[in-house]
Amino acid sequence: MKVYIDNNVLVDIEIGKYSVEDFTGMSGATYYYSDAHINELLEAKGNPKVSQEGRLNLISQLCGRNNILTMGFKAPEIYEKEPVEMYRLCDNPLRAFIAQQVNTGDDLFMELRKKLNFDSTIFNNASPELVLKMIDERVKQKLNNMDLLTYLRETEAHGGKPLYHTLFNLIDSANYWGDKKTSHSNVARLYDATHAYFAQICDVLVTNDKRMRAKTKAVYSFLDVNTNVVSTNEYLEI
């Protein structure tokens, strides 16, 4: 069983809510990490509550060299890379520039929401399996019968991580399990989407963020991804 653990689960292990043994004791489970874990760690540089070395050691304890990478718009694949090696590769000025760009917001989603002219309250009781289908139907009504994925393919969000990020933003713009708006919320949603993107090739994605779980389930259902999305407590009961 291939298991991808979200960054918030690592934090919970560090504060003692769970132990490494809780996870390594799961029969048949193999754990994987991605550059999203590394970039979130790099963003916390200078935070006295986050040990860069300690987090890398924790990732190594759980995942070893089990890394998920992607090249361009190709599907993610499993590689062997030490966490410290990925840390060195990701530690560059471009990472901060990308985060700054994302944090300015993306006009595409506000523009699309304006075109769709939907009342976000219609999503309040929707299931994750239905929310993007509902948005898709609205797109067809408003954009001359063009479906959502066709529309997105005509933008920069035509595949890979950008597609996941676009869908996460679109769901959030519909105020479906919307994130609390802060100076960091757009970057945080980028990380959530990236974790979901990498986890698509695993059997299980474990995250304790209920908003991320709902958005990820919606995206996975829409894209026919079979990865099971659970909280830590649900996972440890499997």
Rounded alpha-carbon distances, angstroms, from residue 4 to 8, 56, 168, 200: 12, 16, 19, 9
Residue 38 makes CB contacts below 8 A (sequence gap 6+) with 83, 86, 87, 90
In terms of Cβ atoms closer than 10 Å to its own Cβ (0-12, 13-18, 19+), residue 167 is buried
The string of pLDDT tens digits covering residues 192-219 is: 999 999 999 999 999 999 999 999 999 9
Q: Give CA–CA dist 164/84, Å, rounded.
A: 26
DSSP state of 156: S
User: Quick one: pLDDT at residue 95?
Assistant: 57
Measured between its terminal Cα atoms, the distance across the chain in Å is 11
Q: Give CA–CA dist 91/93, Å, rounded.
A: 7
In terms of Cβ atoms closer than 10 Å to its own Cβ (0-12, 13-18, 19+), residue 116 is middle
The string of pLDDT tens digits covering residues 49-105 is: 999 999 999 999 999 999 999 876 678 999 999 999 999 988 876 655 555 555 444
Does 22 have pLDDT greater than 90? yes
User: Quick one: pLDDT at residue 161?
Assistant: 82
Q: Give CA–CA dist 106/116, Å, rounded.
A: 17
DSSP state of 104: T
Pair 227, 6: CB distance under 8 Å: no
* Letter string b/e over residues 1-36, b meaning 16 or more CB atoms within 10 A of that residue's CB: ebbbbbbbbbbebeeeebeeeebeebeebebbbbbb
Q: By three-state DSSP, how is residue 33 classified?
A: strand
β partners of residue 139: none
Give the global pTM: 0.89
Pair 4, 212: CB distance under 8 Å: no
**Token match 């997105």: residue?**
152
The string of pLDDT tens digits covering residues 109-153 is: 666 667 777 677 888 788 888 999 988 988 888 888 889 888 877
